[in-house]
Amino acid sequence: MMHLAAFMFTPGSHSAGWRHPEAVPECDMDFRQYAHIAQVAESGKLDAVFFQDTVAVNGSASLDGAGPYRPRQGRTAYLEPTTLLSALAIVTQRIGLIATATTTYNEPYNLARRFASIDHISNGRAGWNLVTSQIEDEAGNFGADHHMAHAERYERAEEFFDVMAALWDSFGDGALIRDKDSGIYVDTAKVHLQNHRGKHFAVRGPLNIARCPQGRPIVTQAGSSGPGMELAARTADLVFTAQSDLGEAQAFYADLKARAAKHGRNPDHVKIMPGLMTIIGATEEEAQARYRELQGLLADENSMRLLARLCGDLDIFAYPPDAPLPPLPLSNAAQARQRHLVEKAKRENLSIIQVARYLATSLGHHLLVGTPATIADTMEQWVKAGACDGFTLLSPYYPAPLERFVAQVVPELQRRGLFRTEYAGTTLRDHLGLPVPPNRYEM
């Protein structure tokens, strides 16, 4: 059985998808659209919806009061994911609800409370996508002139997770007695202090919220660099990664599962779900026509700006667009995504503009154009070949492509016995087949 999550990146993961006649770009700010998308995903019995997040408008770092201000056209404004999750918890019943929140510009006490609260409100469906902030734009909104270095960000993220996980164990099961006769509200022996003192954080605890229905919310991770993989292997229940080559994906999968085992974890308890964008047609021709229609909406200038963000200090605009991709200096942003692109360009002999367009199409993630049957073939092959445990589904725009996936590909996967036809449990942990972790203070 595979696992499926719907990646939420409004108004679409294809950088010009919102221009498609079917697209409803108002899904950026309109809660009713978000509710509809989550309900569509739930009707397809997907494990979760998964919200990306950035604490900035892209492109804001390039100026200091001097114009012109040129954010990328497309993703600019959207609802904040944690407040969104708890509202979505009310309009859905079973689907998991995952939101990204950065460890770079938050405090663990505040974030632990919010995700625990969402887990209570949703009856055990919350997930936290732990990230480090990747773009310079974000630093400027938090008093920093320059972005924290990659290694320091990961060091802080490791400690951030440890503090969060400990805070989530603050209350033992049954700590809240609420005994009217004796006047004893809380069994203080079951309330645990953290007294954490580390390099980045000092947190006494306890968290002022009872333990979650899931023990703790699901933790997901998208880092695929060396430090990112180590963090994921030690801490993540679900890993979102960019893999578009079967062999590379198998190697990543084997590597990450082995690292999890080295950390003393059951490798089955780390679900690896690479990104996948599908463009679906009743026939191959129809699918290809849909793909060409989408690509016709791209503006090369926008695509090049997406690529430039992954080029570190190198000025990619100084090269002719048809030249091969030059060697890129190590970026302080998404290092794994950068490496993935460089390898793909080498393998497929892509020019700069071709790499830029690829990035603009699927955010650098795996793209499948085909019929429900051929798409299901590849998905089946990847899962059976040990390349992944499922997929994180990117939509070029909303909501039609996700509706099409649910209506056409999900039934095909179900017919093959590869995907659930009904939710077996009620929590996200149930959907992923993960046990509730014991409380560290009560083992």
C-alpha distances out from residue 78 to 56, 68, 414, Å: 11, 22, 33
Geometric angle at alpha carbon 105, from 99 and 108, rounded to 5°: 70
Which residue, 208 or 381, is less far from a copy of itself as judged by CB? 208
Encoded tokens for 422: 């009904």
Least Å distance between CB 304 and a copy of itself?
Answer: 14
In 3D space, the residue among 320, 303, 288 whose CA is nearest the CA of residue 364 turns out to be: 303
Which residue, 164 or 328, is less far from a copy of itself as judged by CB? 164
- The one segment of 63-71, 231-239, 331-339, 346-354 that binds a copy of itself by CB under 8 A: 63-71
Task: Look up tokens 């590597």; give the residue.
Answer: 255
Which residue, 198 or 321, is less far from a copy of itself as judged by CB? 198
Which residue, 120 or 259, is less far from a copy of itself as judged by CB? 120
Which residue, 87 or 407, is less far from a copy of itself as judged by CB? 87
Q: Please indicate if the annotation marks 224 as binding a ligand.
A: yes
DSSP state string for 386-429: TS-SEEEEE-SSSSHHHHHIIIIIHHHHHHTT-S-SS-SSSSHH
Sole binder of a copy of itself in the list 43, 57, 267, 416 (CB under 8 A): 57
Binding residues among 121-140 for a copy of itself as defined by CB under 8 A = 121, 140
Residue 276: strand pairing partners:
366, 393
Interface pattern 264-303 for a copy of itself (x via CB under 8 A): ---------------------------------x-x--x-
Least Å distance between CB 200 and a copy of itself?
Answer: 9
Sole binder of a copy of itself in the list 55, 130, 279, 304 (CB under 8 A): 55
User: From CA 100, how far away is CA 329, in angstroms rounded?
Assistant: 27
Find the farthest-apart pair of alpha carbons in the chain and give their distance in angstroms, rounded.
80
- The one segment of 109-117, 284-292, 381-389, 418-426 that binds a copy of itself by CB under 8 A: 109-117
Interface pattern 182-211 for a copy of itself (x via CB under 8 A): -xxxx-x--x-x-x-----xxxxxxxxxx-
Which residue, 205 or 372, is less far from a copy of itself as judged by CB? 205
Residue 370: strand pairing partners:
280
Binding residues among 152-181 for a copy of itself as defined by CB under 8 A = 170-171, 175-176, 178, 180
Amino acid identity for residue 286 in this structure? E
The verdict on 360 binding a copy of itself (CB under 8 A) reads: no
- The one segment of 77-85, 150-158, 234-242, 251-259 that binds a copy of itself by CB under 8 A: 77-85
DSSP state string for 50-114: EE---SS-TTGGG-SS-S---PPSS------HHHHHHHHHHH-SS-EEEEEEESSSS-HHHHHHH
Sole binder of a copy of itself in the list 8, 46, 56, 368 (CB under 8 A): 56
User: Do 428 and 118 contact (CB within 8 A), yes or no?
Assistant: no
Q: Nearest 10 degrees: CA dihedral of 422, 428, 434, 435?
A: -110
Q: Please indicate if the annotation marks 53 as binding a ligand.
A: yes
The bridge status of strand 196-197 relative to strand 202-203 is: antiparallel
> Strand, helix or coil at 357?
helix
Which residue, 121 or 246, is less far from a copy of itself as judged by CB? 121
Sign of CA dihedral 326, 327, 332, 336: positive
Interface pattern 299-328 for a copy of itself (x via CB under 8 A): x--x--------------------------
Interface pattern 379-398 for a copy of itself (x via CB under 8 A): --------------------
Least Å distance between CB 442 and a copy of itself?
Answer: 15
Residue 30: strand pairing partners:
none
Q: Please indicate if the annotation marks 100 as binding a ligand.
A: yes
The verdict on 61 binding a copy of itself (CB under 8 A) reads: yes
The verdict on 342 binding a copy of itself (CB under 8 A) reads: no
User: From CA 238, how far away is CA 391, in angstroms rounded?
Assistant: 11
Residue 241's contacts (CB-CB under 8 Å, 6 or more residues apart) are 222, 224, 252, 272, 273, 274, 275, 336
As annotated, the binding site for FMN includes 53, 100, 150, 154, 224-225
